[in-house]
């Protein structure tokens, strides 16, 4: 069974802190991995897409890495702000599918002013 | 570019009624995917469609659920004879060509409540 696991389930940090969210997946045959942000009662906003041939992607204060051999991805958020408070979802195309995303349950991030 | 448009945003149905959820993909996107998010659970794949074709419906419950993406108009996810366990957020995503190359763009979802 293909699985994506995210730890921690919840994280609370003071404003300005750098933080790392973790994601692990069970299949090294990965096509891509995508990080999303979900605000309460809202849809998903794509943050970063990492192809299997890439090791990392950066956008502004966000940096995502991919290590296929260990089955892990991390999302690094620099200089966190209260507006970063949301649920962060990791999703991977694994298990022989290049279109079906397997999602983790997310990390609920709270950045306190 | 209006993005992926889903409607309605909220839908309330009584047990036994039908629910019809609509999704218009981003302009230029010909691939549509439906996911379901049950309370306290992660998003689960339901179905993958291209125009007039169901490519993969392995995540769809065998009964009461159906999906289509006609040549003209939005993709429709139809749930017949809804039950309380169908209450969830249903998200549609689209991609141009291969999602593996371009990733997904998601809509804002339809929140179905069955009373």
Does the beta carbon of A108 lie under 8 angstroms from any beta carbon of chain B?
no
* Token pair of A31 as six digits: 């096509």
The pLDDT tens digits of the residues spanning B27-81 come to 888 899 999 999 878 899 999 999 999 999 999 999 999 999 999 999 999 999 9
Question: What's chain A's average pLDDT?
Answer: 93
Q: Which residues of B touch A44 (CB under 8 A)?
A: 43, 91, 93, 106
Does the beta carbon of A51 lie under 8 angstroms from any beta carbon of chain B?
yes
The pLDDT tens digits of the residues spanning A35-77 come to 999 998 888 999 999 998 999 999 999 999 999 999 999 999 9
A104 within 8 A of A89, measured Cβ to Cβ: yes
The answer, yes or no, to whether residue B98 has pLDDT greater than 70, is no
The pLDDT tens digits of the residues spanning B73-97 come to 999 999 999 999 999 999 999 988 7
A89 within 8 A of A38, measured Cβ to Cβ: yes
Which position has the higher pLDDT, A21 or A94?
A21
- Name beta bridge partners: A111: A13
The predicted structure's pLDDT at residue B42: 86
Distance from CA of B18 to the nearest CA of A (A): 23
The predicted structure's pLDDT at residue B100: 61
């Amino acid at each position: 069974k293909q699985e994506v696991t995210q730890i921690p389930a919840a994280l609370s940090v003071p404003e300005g802190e750098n933080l790392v969210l973790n994601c692990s997946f069970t299949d090294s045959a990965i096509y891509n991995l995508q990080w999303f942000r979900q605000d309460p009662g809202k849809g998903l906003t794509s943050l970063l897409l990492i192809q299997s041939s890439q090791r990392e992607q950066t956008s502004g204060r966000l940096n995502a890495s991919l290590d296929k051999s260990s089955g892990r991805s991390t999302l690094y958020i620099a200089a966190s702000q209260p507006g970063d408070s949301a649920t962060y979802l990791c999703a991977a195309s694994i298990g022989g599918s290049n279109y079906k995303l397997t999602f983790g349950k997310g990390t609920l991030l709270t950045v306190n002013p | 570019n209006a993005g992926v448009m889903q409607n309605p945003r909220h839908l309330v149905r009584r047990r036994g009624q039908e629910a019809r959820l609509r999704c218009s993909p981003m302009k230029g996107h010909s691939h549509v995917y439906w996911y379901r998010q049950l309370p306290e659970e992660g998003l689960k794949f339901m179905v993958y469609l291209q125009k007039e074709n169901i490519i993969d419906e392995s995540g769809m419950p065998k009964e009461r659920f159906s999906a289509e993406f006609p040549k003209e108009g939005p993709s429709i996810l139809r749930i017949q004879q809804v039950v309380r366990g169908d209450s969830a957020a249903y998200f549609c995503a689209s991609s141009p060509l291969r999602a593996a190359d371009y990733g997904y763009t998601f809509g804002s979802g339809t929140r179905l409540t069955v009373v």
